[in-house]
Structure 1
Amino acid sequence: MKRRTATAALCAALLITATTTGAAVADGPHGGPHGGPPPREAAALTGTAELYRSAGDDITFTFDAHLAAEHGDDPLRATGTFEFSHYLNGEGARAKADVDCLLTGGDVAVVSGVITDSDLPGAEGRRVGVTVHDLGRHDRLGYSWAAMGSPAEGGELPRCVSSAPFEKVKKGTGDFHVVPWQPRL
């Protein structure tokens, strides 16, 4: 009988030690709950690609847009930047925008932002939107100025508004990556 009691007491002590040690490790300063990986961001659009144009236009888009996990229910809390440029025969313009909205669903993302730096007169301070369809090596892209005219002209564009992704990415250049948004509904 003493042997059973001693064995039971030893097992209980080991179980208590394992439980408290595991809880201390799980609640450590790194990682997510219970020691797992940190929570993934709620949504993202990253990458760079050139667009295909038969006339040889040099058109590039670059995205670094993120919606943090803690802001997952509010796409207007997205942060980051995106840049675009369009040149043909040495003439054109470039712009950089600060992200003010990011919505993603599956492999499609819509991002908008306010232009903070551009060599296109009148573009700074204007909001533009871009849509990306992440199709691996065959990504597609659309932009608000396809219907609204030059980013330097026209009325105020609402956040997270763009056009359908009608442009084709130049072969071998598309590396857009969309992290799908999964809001709590």
Structure 2
Amino acid sequence: MNRVTKIAAVSAALLLTLAAGGAATADTDWAGRGPREAAALTGTAKLYRPAGDDITFGFDAHLAAKDNMDPEAATGTFRFSHYKGDWGGYAVAKVDCLVTGGKVAVVTGVVTETDVDAFRGKRVGVSVHDLGKHDRLGYSWIGKDTEAKLPKCMGSAPFEKVKAGTGDFQVLPWQLDYPTE
């Protein structure tokens, strides 16, 4: 076999191997370790506030592939804090629902750790719009009626802008399995 034929044969075999491997791993995670998560929201950002408030949100929320049709089976935590001078506080919530669509996510959770009594044991919801360097965020406790109980999987529109250079939210879109007839 001449050299050109050998190179062509090896190249074709390599391409076929890569194509077959890619098809076999299309439904696996990025490292090929198993099924792709059904949905996820991760990352941290500070909100933009011209008055100097230090407001930070961080997420580590996941919906396993095996729970694809049950967003209330999501796991993880999210954290938020708001400080200005000597005033402020933080809270950590245990995720109880995660829904994503495209680059938008809504996560709810019950506050399990905080130094703000008003948040202790309360369900809170946060929405995120993953826009690269211009992420947006919304939260459920804005408004007058803060005593109302928030249902799982509910949040407000992402009305806040993140501070330039701080947004690194990553939303993994949910892929529903619809029944076929």
Q: TM-score if structure 1 supplies the norm length? A: 0.77
Q: How many residues align?
A: 150
1:147 Cα deviation after fit: 3.1
Post-superposition CA distance 1:34-78 (Å, at most 9, x none): xx6511100000000000011111000000000000000000000
1:42 maps to which residue? 38
Ranges in structure 2 where 5+ consecutive residues have no aligned partner: 1-23
TM-score, normalized by length of structure 2? 0.79
Written as runs of structure 1 = structure 2, the 5 A alignment for 1:118-129 is 118-129=114-125
Measure how far apart 1:89 and its partner are: 1.8
Q: Counterpart of 1:162?
A: 155
Name the CA distance, whole Å, in 2 between partners of 1:58 and 1:120: 16
The equivalent of 2:20 in structure 1 is: none
Q: Distance in 1 between matches of 2:100 and 2:116?
A: 29
Instruction: Quote how far apart the aligned CAs of 1:146 are.
Output: 1.6
1:64 and 2:60 are equivalent in the alignment: yes
What amino acid sits opposite 1:154 in the alignment? Answer: E
Identical residues among aligned pairs (%): 65
Task: Tell me the distance in 2 between the aligned counterparts of 1:107 and 1:183.
Answer: 15
Contact kept? 1:60, 1:86, Cα under 8 Å: yes
Report the CA distance between 1:88 and its aligned residue: 1.2
The alignment yields a C-alpha RMSD, in angstroms, of 1.7
Q: Which has the larger radius of gyration?
A: 1
Q: In structure 2, how many angstroms separate the alpha carbons of the residues matched to 1:142 and 1:148?
A: 16
Runs of 5+ consecutive residues of structure 1 not aligned to the other structure: 1-25
SS at match of 2:66: helix
Amino acid at match of 1:71: D
Flag as ranges the 4+ runs of structure 1 deviating above 6 A.
none
